Amino acid sequence: MDNEHGLAVSTDNRTGLRLQWSPVFAGALAAAALSVILIGFGTAVGLGVSSSSPSWRDASSALALLSGLYLILQALVSFGVGGYIAGRAQRMIGATSADEIEGRDGLHGLTAWALAIIVSAAIVALVGLSAARPLVQSRPSATAAEPLLSAELDRLYRSIRRPANIDIGYERAEAGRILLTSSSRSGINTEDHSYLIQQVASATGLAAAEAEKRVDSVIGDARVAIQTSRRSAVILAFSVAAALLFGAVAAWAASCAGGRHRDGAALPEWMGGKPTTVVPVV
């Protein structure tokens, strides 16, 4: 008889610790959707920290830090909402202790957080592939320098007397690969520097002295652009890591709060609940 009772208790405990996937999926989808909306809004107002456009490169370091803080803030909001839904939408299974209920609610919020990250990463990957495919098909000779150093390459090969039917796509790609080495410790070597001057002089019709002056100016601008992009990449990587970690904490805490609200407790003040008033004892 005791063995049957212990087996029943063990079965109930295993049932209580089992994940309920419907609340997890609901919280993950809500978190992913809200995250996409907030990131899109931030990018629209100029808080896209990963942008490499010329207008972004002229921005200050304060704007880069503000963009990183916004990324962390949107993670707290989106994952908090998803975690709350994952905890609030669960159904109660039997009578369990408060610690077990809190652990189960937090586990559901953490699982919704992980699933939301996977969904968001898949959306970003699909959007990136669809946006990059037309560019690759139309510019087969483009290199990694084109998005970053497109303004410098335009200025390098700018010429009024060039015929309209001449394609310099290969020359731009080769010059872009050379300019990418400008931020290295040794910089552009002498042979590549001389070759770049000859190439610019031949493509634009400039004199050797003017071509050298233009090349030196573009090399300096390219070095600054690469350093700025590298700084933005560091801020982006740190912001993404911090946002995901803070998002996990927010999902766990919000899921536990949603579970307490599901069980009849009042919402905490940080989630919009009414402040508790202390009644003095007479």
Around Cβ 52, how many Cβ atoms within 10 Å?
A: 17
At residue 176, does pLDDT exceed 50? yes
Q: How far apart are CA 156 and CA 151, in angstroms?
A: 9
Arithmetic mean of pLDDT over the chain: 79
SS3 category, 42: helix
Looking at residue 28, what is its pLDDT?
Answer: 94
User: Phi/psi class of residue 96: alpha, beta or left (left: φ > 0; alpha: ψ in -120 to 50)?
Assistant: beta
Using one digit for the tens of pLDDT, what is the confidence trace for 22-71? 999 999 999 999 998 998 888 888 776 555 444 455 556 777 788 889 99
| d(C-alpha 135, C-alpha 158), whole Å | 22
Listed range (177-186, 209-218, 248-257) with the worst mean pLDDT: 177-186
Interatomic CA distance for residues 81 and 165, integer angstroms: 56
Model pTM?
A: 0.72
Distance CA 199, CA 172 (A): 10
